[in-house]
Amino acid sequence: MEYILHIAFMLNIYIMLVLSTNVTVMANLLTLCQAAFYGIGAYIGTLFLMQFELPIIIIALCVMGLSGLCSIIITLASVKLKGDYFILATLGFQMVVYTILYNWIDVTNGPFGISGIPALKLLGIWELQGVYAYFAVSLIAVLLMVALFAGLKLSPYGRALRSLRSDEQSLQALGRDVSFLKGSAFFISAAFAGLAGMLYASYASYIDPTSFTLLESLFIVSALFIGGTGNIAGPILGALFVVILPEVLRFIGMPESIAAPLRQIIYGLALVLVMYFRPQGLGGKEIIK
């Protein structure tokens, strides 16, 4: 049962990451640095947990705020860039963050990572114990995100974000601040990725930079592409696919020497097939461009 709950917890983490990435895609911003914000949230959350005894909500708000503020760095540098140039800018940010996490040994302990991360505390008193508690907290976080993003999609702000994909110039002609819309979408996306990082760090009680590499960002984007954009169901289906598939493959009995390469081949093949036969993704409504 604990194994199943562990998988369910990781599924919730990836749903949060893919949903947060979907916000930037709504604003026509494809990003390759989501794992960077995931890592920023994990390390900031770790520092708060090891230095202060605060309730979950306080730490979560601090982590989300600081992770969102970090997104301003790339927003100021690249919000006026479009297409491939913007993607390259996010790629550069991902590499810079990973390099800092790997080499700033005084703060992050570099490649050795940080162990003994304390558990989260309810109201600053009761510690979360075991996978059951973390699954429940992560599920609550996912449900809140789903409700928030569903409301955001139907709001004037959400409609403005979607308009960026179809006709940015017309939206700008109507007097909307396009730079603000893009920057705020990046802030929201980074904030919730940071929240996922905080939950993961406390649950695992150990983090190191190898969990927040470019490959992780590509993994998250692949999940979004497979699931699709334009609604809530698409990102959830994509997260289900990339989390459940490896666990299914474990029971096939493949040799360890070929299991990892074969998994990558299956991911790549699935992505190609989905993009060919269903370019909007398994559950999405919009074609990803």
Written as one string, the DSSP assignment of 176-234 is --HHHHHHHHHHHHHHHHHHHHHHHHHHHSEE-GGGSSHHHHHHHHHHHHHH-BSSSHH
> Which of 10, 8, 9, 35 is closest to 20 using CA atoms?
35
Quote the pLDDT of residue 267.
67
Quote the pLDDT of residue 270.
74
> Which tokens is 139 given?
């599920």
> Which of 16, 24, 18, 22 is closest to 181 using CA atoms?
24
Residue 96: HSE in the Cβ half-sphere, 13 Å Cα cutoff: 11
Whether 16 and 195 have beta carbons less than 8 Å apart is answered as yes
- The Cα 65–Cα 115 span in angstroms is 24
Spans of all domains in the chain: 2-212
Alpha-carbon distances, residue 247 vs 79, 93, 234 (angstroms): 38, 31, 21
Quote the pLDDT of residue 25.
86
- The Cα 232–Cα 67 span in angstroms is 23
pTM of the model: 0.90
Quote the pLDDT of residue 11.
94
Element (H, E) at 168: helix 168-173
What are the strands, taking DSSP E only, across the chain? Answer: 114-115, 121-122, 126-127, 206-207
Direct distance between the N- and C-terminal alpha carbons of the chain, in angstroms, rounded to an integer:
41
Residue 230: HSE in the Cβ half-sphere, 13 Å Cα cutoff: 17
Reading the chain (289 residues) residue by residue, the pLDDT tens digits are 788 898 999 999 999 999 999 988 887 788 888 999 999 999 999 999 888 878 888 889 999 999 999 988 877 766 677 777 888 888 989 999 999 999 999 888 888 989 988 888 776 566 777 788 888 899 999 999 999 988 888 888 878 877 777 766 766 676 777 778 888 888 999 999 999 999 999 998 899 999 999 989 988 998 888 888 878 888 898 899 888 877 776 776 666 677 677 777 876 787 788 778 877 777 766 655 5
> Which of 144, 120, 133, 145 is closest to 18 using CA atoms?
145
- The Cα 276–Cα 274 span in angstroms is 5
> Which tokens is 43 given?
């390390």
